[in-house]
Structure 1
Amino acid sequence: MKLFLRCLIVIGVLACAWLGYSIMRAQRGLAEAERLLKRNVFSKAREEVDRYLWLHPRDPAALLLSAEILTRDESLETGPAIARAQSLLERIPDTLPWGPIARGKQARLSFFVEHRPIEGQRFFEKALELDPRFIEGRYLLWKILDLTGRSDSAEPIFWTIYDQTPQADRPYLMREWYMSQFFPASANPLLDVQMGYNDPSKPLQMNPEYVRLKEHCDAEPQEPINHAALARWFQHDGDHTTALTLLERGLKLPGAETDPYFLSILLATLFEQGDLERAKKYLEGWPEPHEGYDYWRWKGMLADEADRDYPEAVAAYDKALAIWPGPVDWRTMYRRANCLARLRQSDAASEARKSAKKIEEIMDTEVHVALRDALEDRNLTDRDNLTKVMDFYRELGRNREVEAWQQVLDSLPSKQPAIEAASGKR
């Protein structure tokens, strides 16, 4: 009996010693994991941080570190590793100072790795709600809108980014904005390469925009926006039958009939198919408040083509043309002019056609070839080229862009007069 008790005591002492050693080692685990991560020793770093989390399962710094190790360790299978990293980040509450950081990391994983743009958008929006100073999140939120065919709604986000951008970087940011406004499908070539949608080394490959939108649809089939974005691509390619098939699939999903972007693509397809009555039905279900370019444009087009209500069409067109991208929508301007002609307002119709023709000429391909050349790196400090860009925006009545480019011009060194320069050399 005494021997048994002695054995129990020895075992208890050893167990306490082992537990004490384990706790001491676990306490050092966080610092050791950080050291190992810097050396890219991922498996050992994982072991150390896991020991620490065994002792401190809610420690936000350890959860962030563990998630980072999982996402950087290329020896792990991507799917399970990313899912585990997302679950670790999810354990960090919004209420902690680490909350916006965790949401931002979740957004990056959703968007860049899992190719789920809508999930990524929601995480970025949450991170910005928690920390409005999170400029990287705001910038990537803008990129998500570009990459999902929704660049027309990016303007409020862009100008917030602009206000937080150093003066020296603004010419490059304004160039990105020009591409986002006029060539959103190809505005982010580096992101398409980074995310595997484009491979410059391959001379023959599928259209990167199609590859991207198809991947989004496959990765997030439950999101109506992804179906609409892919349908829009087929619309622009002239395949309205495939577009409608995708939209019919999207209509079965919750929220589709109340999403303005989805409805705008659906209305465009139904209009092209000649199904005006069905288009009117979906327009009537447009969510309140009734606002934005897409709503008023479709309100005008259906009043014009389906109801022949030209006064209502003109009023709706006026509202649409006042909202971006209305100022460059010369086709809708011509539609408005035709309505005025049918109302026997000849002078107003003539002026409207002149305005539409002016914008049509401004939006000509050759004009934009010259503008894109003016915005090349070699020209971003050239006064003459940047003045061309500023004048382009002035003709469109885009005062905010005019002011921004004027600030860029004002920041350039002033030109030295030729006579003064010559005398200076002597």
Structure 2
Amino acid sequence: MKISVWTFVALAILCVGGYFGYLLMTQHSARQAMQRAESAVRHRNWTSVRIELSKYLDVFPQDDAARLHLAEAYFKDATMNPERAVSLAIEQMRFIPHTSPHWPAACVQEARMHLFARLQPHRAELLLREMLATDPDNVDGNYVLWKLYDLTGRSHLAEPNFRRVLAATPAAQRPLRLREWYLSQFYPATANPELDQLMGFYDPSEKRSAVTELRRLEAFREREPTSALNHAAVARWYSLEGDPKTSLKLLQQALDETDAPLQDPFFVATLIQVLFDLGEFDNAMKYFRAWPGERSGYEYVRLSAILADEVERDYERAIRHYQQVISVWPGQADWRIQYRLARCLIKNGDDSSAESTRQKAKKIELLMEEDVHAPLRRLLATPDQLEICGQMTQFYEQLGLEFEANQWRDLTHVE
């Protein structure tokens, strides 16, 4: 009996020792795979990177940083089918839990892939909003959302994201960020040629035009056909190009083809504006009274002012809302809305205020002329030069945009 017990104990010790020996060997092998992956990264051999990182993660599956690198390797490996590479990269990032410190980076990376590779801005925006709700100052997340707004015809929403990005931008890079913001403000349709080229909508040999934007917006709609956002973006393009009938036709089709379009403020705002432009005031008021979500923000207040003025003839309310609109971006540069305010003041019997408002609107209209912006764009090729800093400061001061004027002025004092 004693012999059998000791034999059993010896076998147990051997088994445990063998297990731990195997475990140590496996972990050692995995760490060697990580070293080989790091070497492959330096040589930009993404096939080797993903093979070695896969071996490492088989042993250390909780290493979220390594999983992020594996996702990057899938995305960059030119030997793989692009769609499969994106799918595998996204699959890896979804293993990273919300509690991980690497989760914000994973969200941003996944959003980039949905936006730039899969052409799915709605899905990308949902991811970014979810992440920014918990990490509002995340620089990468704010930057991608800023660009997403540009690419979907909603650059007027990007100012908070731009400001957070700028606050974290090193002094040497601030001129470039301010140049990007100027283009977002005044040339959003063509502000991101590198991104349009990346997504296949722009050839550098071609002249940039509004047609590039339409191709992009239609591709977004095709890739996410049930997203009200994408349908509204295409419809708004036609509206801004002076074709409200085509715009309304597209919006009416989208009412039957998309998920809850009347719960999307951008869709509803586009629909109301088009109905107003076509003289369908009763329908415009019907949709305005059913506005989804918070009754605030630039789009809501702007439409409220126009409808109170032109449809309801409530001039005092219209004046209050017009004044609210022109106090924030992009109303500060919208000379058309300021002319509307001037006419509304006349209707309300305030000729003196109307004249001063008309003069201000004329000043802003002249500042929007191409002969003002063309030399600025030429000089912005080297935005760190003192000459352009001074001219941009003056331009923004004339426009009444103190934040931007101060930022450009500060650059003249940077050594």
| Alpha-carbon contact 2:150-2:184 (below 8 Å) kept | yes
Q: Which runs of 5+ in 2 are unaligned?
A: 1-14
1:69-118 Cα shifts (integer Å, max 9, x gaps): 32122222222221122112101101112222222221221122112122
- The CA deviation at 1:286 is 1.6
Structure 2 residue aligned with 1:214, among 218, 222, 226? 218
| Alpha-carbon contact 1:258-1:285 (below 8 Å) kept | no
Give the equivalent residue in structure 2 for 1:200: 204
Q: Which amino acid aligns with 1:189?
A: P
- 1:407 matched to 2:415: no
User: 1:24-63 alignment to 2 at 5 Å?
Assistant: 25=29, 28-63=32-67
Q: Which amino acid aligns with 2:350?
A: Q
- The CA deviation at 1:142 is 1.0
- 1:260 matched to 2:273: no
- The CA deviation at 1:308 is 2.5
- The CA deviation at 1:26 is 5.2
- The CA deviation at 1:311 is 2.4
Q: Which amino acid aligns with 1:265?
A: T
- The CA deviation at 1:258 is 2.7
Cα distance in 2 for residues equivalent to 1:283 and 1:133: 33
Which stretch of structure 1 is more off in the superposition, 239-248 or 227-236? 239-248
User: 1:277-356 alignment to 2 at 5 Å?
Assistant: 277-356=282-361
Give the equivalent residue in structure 2 for 1:422: none
Give the equivalent residue in structure 2 for 1:74: 78
- The CA deviation at 1:24 is 6.3
Structure 1 residue aligned with 2:148, among 124, 130, 144? 144
- The CA deviation at 1:136 is 2.5
Cα distance in 2 for residues equivalent to 1:156 and 1:204: 27
- The CA deviation at 1:37 is 4.7
Which stretch of structure 1 is more off in the superposition, 113-122 or 87-96? 113-122
- The CA deviation at 1:400 is 0.9
Relative distance call for 1:404 and 1:208 in structure 2 (3 A) is same
Which stretch of structure 1 is more off in the superposition, 84-93 or 72-81? 72-81
Relative distance call for 1:372 and 1:26 in structure 2 (3 A) is closer
Cα distance in 2 for residues equivalent to 1:319 and 1:99: 39
| Alpha-carbon contact 1:386-1:405 (below 8 Å) kept | yes
- 1:90 matched to 2:89: no
Cα distance in 1 for residues equivalent to 2:208 and 2:133: 43
- The CA deviation at 1:342 is 2.1
Cα distance in 2 for residues equivalent to 1:28 and 1:386: 52
Relative distance call for 1:25 and 1:376 in structure 2 (3 A) is closer
Cα distance in 1 for residues equivalent to 2:174 and 2:208: 35
| Alpha-carbon contact 2:30-2:59 (below 8 Å) kept | yes
1:5-31 Cα shifts (integer Å, max 9, x gaps): xxxxxxxx9xx99x8887765564443
Indicate the percent of aligned positions where both proteins have the same amino acid: 36
Which stretch of structure 1 is more off in the superposition, 140-149 or 235-244? 235-244
Cα distance in 1 for residues equivalent to 2:344 and 2:73: 62
Cα distance in 2 for residues equivalent to 1:213 and 1:166: 33
Q: Which amino acid aligns with 1:116?
A: Q
Give the equivalent residue in structure 2 for 1:420: none
Task: Figure out how many residues of one structure are paired with residues of the other and give that number.
Answer: 397
| Alpha-carbon contact 2:190-2:208 (below 8 Å) kept | no
Structure 1 residue aligned with 2:276, among 271, 288, 293? 271
Give the equivalent residue in structure 1 for 2:229: 225
Give the equivalent residue in structure 1 for 2:8: none
1:146-177 Cα shifts (integer Å, max 9, x gaps): 11111111111111111111222222221211
- The CA deviation at 1:33 is 3.8
Per the normalisation by structure 2, the TM-score is: 0.86
User: 1:376-391 alignment to 2 at 5 Å?
Assistant: 376-377=381-382, 380-383=384-387, 385-391=388-394
- 1:393 matched to 2:396: yes
- 1:157 matched to 2:145: no
Root mean square deviation of aligned Cα:
2.8
Cα distance in 2 for residues equivalent to 1:313 and 1:330: 16
Give the equivalent residue in structure 2 for 1:4: none
Give the equivalent residue in structure 2 for 1:5: none
User: 1:352-363 alignment to 2 at 5 Å?
Assistant: 352-363=357-368
| Alpha-carbon contact 2:343-2:354 (below 8 Å) kept | yes
| Alpha-carbon contact 2:235-2:248 (below 8 Å) kept | yes
Structure 1 residue aligned with 2:176, among 156, 165, 172? 172
SS of the equivalent of 1:207 reads helix
Give the equivalent residue in structure 2 for 1:251: 255
Relative distance call for 1:304 and 1:129 in structure 2 (3 A) is closer
SS of the equivalent of 1:74 reads coil
Per the normalisation by structure 1, the TM-score is: 0.84
Cα distance in 2 for residues equivalent to 1:387 and 1:37: 43
Give the equivalent residue in structure 2 for 1:237: 241
SS of the equivalent of 1:262 reads helix
Q: Which amino acid aligns with 2:398?
A: E
- The CA deviation at 1:42 is 4.6
